[in-house]
Chains A and B, each alone.
Chain A
Amino acid sequence: MNRRSLLLGASAAITLPAFGAKAQTAQITGAGASFPNPIYQKWAEAARGPTGIQVNYQSVGSGAGINQIRNRTVDFGGTDAPLNAQQLTEGNLLQFPTVMGSLVAIVNIPGVGDDQLRLTGPILADIYLGKITRWNDPQIVAINPGLSLPNLVIAPAYRADGSGTTFVWVSYLSAVSQEWKDRVGVGTSVRFPAGTGARGNEGVAGTVRNVRGAIGYVENAYAITNKLVTTQLRNNAGVFVKPEHKTFMAAASAANWNVPGFAANVIDTPGADSWPIVAPTFILIPTNPTDATRSANVRRFFDWAFVNGSKLAEELEYIPLPNSVHDAIRASWRQSFGA
């Protein structure tokens, strides 16, 4: 690892001599998705010494991040919902993923402990469509033979603010339920047919904690740090899996990254061990930067993060990208910006 980072550092210094002189004070700014904010801040702090790059990232939301990079008011934008190939071409933008995160369902049912309840995608979709309204619904009871489920109203909670978390959640519901796809669809904010909205992860978690019978969805990192009651989910292979490191990694390696803008679909991937709701978060950089030095520094920062940042990411419960994806991203940089 170390030798590799040295080599990369050296090659970067040779190929991009301009910032060698300015390395001490190089500043880059970014704005966008709030989901990867903790890891970007951590990377920024850790990279300042070795790279001499100071990163200022503002977590203003994916939509605002896209706006700001389109207007070129920042050096890079962050988004959870990937842009498609046409949008990238129109905006003269290059897109690449940085890390992945996973979503978990959290519940508040008396007598049901962590990872005890089993749910399937279609059941989740029906709960959020308002079609399954009680916890002792025959469909839920049938797949939970060992649990005694109370006759309690299900209170679905969702993110009220537009967010990448919602985008990933409804992407999953759309993937597993045709009715969800037709009636609601996919977006950073959608028209939820049932339930109540709350602001941010903390709002959803708070609502679930307060209301008996509530169900919600949050990022796994948030569920772990707040000790929330999560559930098992049935994956694409028909196996019930728990939200844990092993199942997240299995999902990540099963995805096909060879698509425009690296907009890989890590939702409901095949494989007996795969956790069904995993999603990458993306960075957007201009392919026609106004300031070549700053643009190079952005790439140098993320290159540093790819080489050195995986451990930090795992500490914060993010899922690092496979090394093959890192290499593919570097190849795409070379293609757009030269060697």
Chain B
Amino acid sequence: MASASATPPQAVSRRSGSFGEKVFALVCQAAGIFVLILLGALIIELFIAGLPAFRAFGIAFVTSTDWDPVRELFGAGVSIYGTIITAILAIIMAVPLAFGVAFFLTELAPPWMRRPVGTAVELLAAVPSIIYGMWGFFVIAPTFARYVQPTIIDTVGELPLIGFLFQGPPFGTGLFTAAFILAIMVLPFIAATMRDVFEQVPPVYKESAYGLGATTWEVMKGVVIPYTRISVVGGIMLGLGRALGETMAVTFVIGNANRISTSLFGPGNTIASLVALEFGESEIGSLKLASLLALGFILFVLSFAVLATSRYLLRSRLKV
């Protein structure tokens, strides 16, 4: 092919083609490295900016439950507690729902229903978080305050041992409401992952189980779940990562109190919402600003660890 008979224009175009390829490769490489550098720079920048807070309070910054801007005493304890509690509660509420959705879509739904329901679940992920925030504040919180919480406070709240989790005035806002909103927000991520991995179970495994006389539930329990267990956990971690960093919706409904309350109906704060609320009133060079940036660093590390775990657990399934 590449004989001497090649005409000059061809030769020129081939040369420029190889040159173009080199440029293209370089540009793509640069783009890839840029993202890596950006990520690293963000972490380093946050850490440096938050350093004054770590210097002033030491490692106790992470555990201290003080957040007193007047006396310049700052600690991340309350917001880390709130972040983790709301995220875990959200996962506890979202996982059974997501499992139901995924199970229904892969095993039970008639084919004509799979697409609309699947799309609807995915569209939940496209709703802007401010919408969830407003919905939570104007619809969910009043409903909780009027109907749900008084009932639970008067019944479950009276029980020994676990009663303290459900006591206090029914504000409607608080950790529980925030977790509820978060659960709906992370549902699509968990449900979509679960559906995708359930679909990847080789049909021959399931058919063998059915052949042995297993019921649908037994197939799910004995074949699908064991086969996809690690990926399901990965999907849950993906949702957890989302829940940890959510800001706007949580800010609206969490009650924004910088103290730890034992009741799930009590107000709290998350790292993201505290940063969002306090940023406008923090002066440059102040310890408060440094503390907020240090909080950002902690949140970054937390989400990064969770998402990295999720990636690691999902690596085999998503590549196939």
Task: Please list the residues of chain A having a beta carbon within 8 angstroms of any beta carbon in chain B.
Answer: 60-64, 66-67, 70-71, 153, 155, 160-163, 184-193, 195-199, 203, 206-207, 210-211, 213-214
Task: Please list the residues of chain B having a beta carbon within 8 angstroms of any beta carbon in chain A.
Answer: 66-71, 137-138, 141-142, 145-146, 169-174, 251-252, 255-259, 267, 277-284
B145 touching A67, Cβ below 8 Å: no
A203 touching B68, Cβ below 8 Å: no
Select the residue from A71, A186, A195 with max chain B CB neighbours within 10 A. Answer: A195
B172 touching A63, Cβ below 8 Å: no
| Contact status of A184 and B267, CB under 8 A, knowing A160-B277, A196-B256, A210-B172 | no
B259 touching A211, Cβ below 8 Å: no
A196 touching B69, Cβ below 8 Å: no
- With a cutoff of 8 Å between Cβ atoms, the chain A residues found around residue B255 in the complex are 160, 196-198
Residue of A nearest to B146 (CB): A210
- With a cutoff of 8 Å between Cβ atoms, the chain A residues found around residue B142 in the complex are 210
Query: How far apart sit A201 and B24, CA to CA, in the bound complex (Å)?
Result: 53
Residue of A nearest to B282 (CB): A63
A191 touching B67, Cβ below 8 Å: yes
- With a cutoff of 8 Å between Cβ atoms, the chain A residues found around residue B283 in the complex are 63, 66-67, 70
A196 touching B171, Cβ below 8 Å: yes
Select the residue from A163, A189, A199, A207 with max chain B CB neighbours within 10 A. Answer: A189
| Contact status of A190 and B256, CB under 8 A, knowing A64-B280, A196-B173 | no
| Contact status of A207 and B280, CB under 8 A, knowing A191-B68, A196-B267, A197-B255 | no
- With a cutoff of 8 Å between Cβ atoms, the chain B residues found around residue A210 in the complex are 141-142, 145-146, 172
| Contact status of A186 and B70, CB under 8 A, knowing A61-B280, A198-B256 | yes
A92 to chain B, nearest CB (A): 16
- Can you name 17 extra interface pairs (CB under 8 A) apart from A64-B280, A203-B137, A211-B172? A61-B280, A63-B283, A64-B279, A64-B281, A70-B283, A161-B277, A162-B277, A185-B70, A185-B71, A189-B281, A191-B66, A193-B259, A197-B257, A203-B252, A207-B172, A211-B171, A214-B171
Main secondary structure, interface of A, reads loop
A207 touching B173, Cβ below 8 Å: yes
- With a cutoff of 8 Å between Cβ atoms, the chain B residues found around residue A185 in the complex are 68, 70-71
- With a cutoff of 8 Å between Cβ atoms, the chain B residues found around residue A195 in the complex are 257, 267
B70 touching A161, Cβ below 8 Å: no
B171 touching A188, Cβ below 8 Å: no
| Contact status of A196 and B70, CB under 8 A, knowing A70-B284, A162-B281, A163-B281 | no
Query: How far apart sit A214 and B138, CA to CA, in the bound complex (Å)?
Result: 16
B281 to chain A, nearest CB (A): 3
B70 touching A190, Cβ below 8 Å: yes
- With a cutoff of 8 Å between Cβ atoms, the chain B residues found around residue A190 in the complex are 68-70
- With a cutoff of 8 Å between Cβ atoms, the chain B residues found around residue A197 in the complex are 255-257, 267, 277
| Contact status of A196 and B257, CB under 8 A, knowing A185-B71, A211-B145 | yes
B153 to chain A, nearest CB (A): 11
- With a cutoff of 8 Å between Cβ atoms, the chain A residues found around residue B251 in the complex are 160, 199
A22 to chain B, nearest CB (A): 32
Select the residue from B70, B145, B146, B280 with max chain A CB neighbours within 10 A. Answer: B280
Select the residue from B67, B173, B255, B282 with max chain A CB neighbours within 10 A. Answer: B173
Select the residue from A160, A207, A211 with max chain B CB neighbours within 10 A. Answer: A160
B69 touching A189, Cβ below 8 Å: yes
